[in-house]
C-alpha cells in the first residue's frame, strides 16, 4: 500500500514564510489520518506531494505497515514511544525510511506517540545522457 499525500485542496506553501507559535500549533485541530483508528495528524506545510507535519498515534493503536515507493520519509519523535522499522524509539529519536521500505508504527507506549515528519517524493532527473540538463544529486 502506498498512501497518497494529504489532499489539502490545492494548498501550496512553497515560497511563503510561515511562523506558528506553540500556542497556534496547539490550537490547530488534529484531523483523522486516512481512517486509521487512533491516528491523527496536522499538516504544517505542503507543496504538491511534499508534506511536513505532525502525526499522533494513541496508546493501544497502531499505524499499519505501508510502503512509500516513491518518497523519502523522515521522522523525529517529539513525545512518547513506539516501534518503527524494528527499533523502539522515544522522544528525541530520529528515523529515516528510504523509498520502498515497509514501515509501521507499532507497540505504542502508554502515553501514545507523536512525531514530526516529512514526506518528500523522489526527484527524478533527466536521463544521464541528456546533455541539456545536468543531473543533480538528490
How far apart CA 76 and CA 45 sit, in angstroms, is 16
Check pLDDT > 70 for residue 128. no
Tens of pLDDT, residue by residue over 21-61, are 999 999 999 999 988 999 999 999 999 889 999 999 999 99
Residue 67, in any domain of the structure: yes
How far apart CA 135 and CA 39 sit, in angstroms, is 39
Residue 98, in any domain of the structure: yes
Give the three cell numbers for residue 67.
510502503
Per-residue model confidence (pLDDT) at position 125: 57
Residue 134, in any domain of the structure: no
Per-residue model confidence (pLDDT) at position 127: 53
Give me the half-sphere count of Cα atoms (radius 13 Å) on the Cβ side of residue 134.
2
pTM: 0.81
Residue 2, in any domain of the structure: no
Give the three cell numbers for residue 90.
522515544
Tens of pLDDT, residue by residue over 61-99, are 999 999 988 899 999 999 999 999 999 999 999 999 999
**Percent residues over pLDDT 70 in the chain:** 82
Structural domain for 69, as ranges: 30-121
Please compute the mean of the pLDDT values over residues 106-118 and round it to a whole number: 96
Residues in the chain: 138
All residues at 6 or more sequence positions from 83 whose CB lies less than 8 Å from its CB, including other chains? 89, 105, 106, 107
Per-residue model confidence (pLDDT) at position 9: 55
Residue 55, in any domain of the structure: yes
Per-residue model confidence (pLDDT) at position 35: 87
Residue 15, in any domain of the structure: no
Give the Cβ contact number of residue 53 at 10 Å.
19
Give the three cell numbers for residue 71.
518518497
CATH code for the domain of 42: 2.60.120.10
Amino acid at each position: 500500500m502506498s498512501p497518497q499525500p494529504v489532499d489539502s485542496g490545492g494548498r501550496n506553501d512553497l515560497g511563503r514564510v510561515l511562523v506558528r507559535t506553540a500556542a497556534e500549533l496547539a490550537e490547530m485541530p488534529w484531523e483523522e489520518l486516512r481512517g486509521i483508528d487512533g491516528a491523527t495528524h496536522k499538516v504544517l506545510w505542503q507543496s504538491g506531494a511534499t508534506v511536513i507535519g505532525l502525526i499522533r498515534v494513541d496508546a493501544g493503536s497502531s499505524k499499519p505497515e505501508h510502503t512509500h515507493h516513491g518518497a523519502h520519509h523522515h521522522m523525529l519523535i517529539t513525545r512518547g514511544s513506539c516501534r518503527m522499522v524494528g527499533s523502539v524509539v522515544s522522544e528525541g529519536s530520529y528515523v529515516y525510511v528510504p523509498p520502498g521500505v515497509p514501515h509501521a508504527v507499532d507497540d505504542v507506549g502508554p502515553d501514545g506517540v507523536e512525531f514530526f515528519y516529512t514526506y518528500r517524493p523522489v526527484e527524478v532527473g533527466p536521463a544521464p545522457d541528456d546533455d541539456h540538463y545536468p543531473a543533480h544529486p538528490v
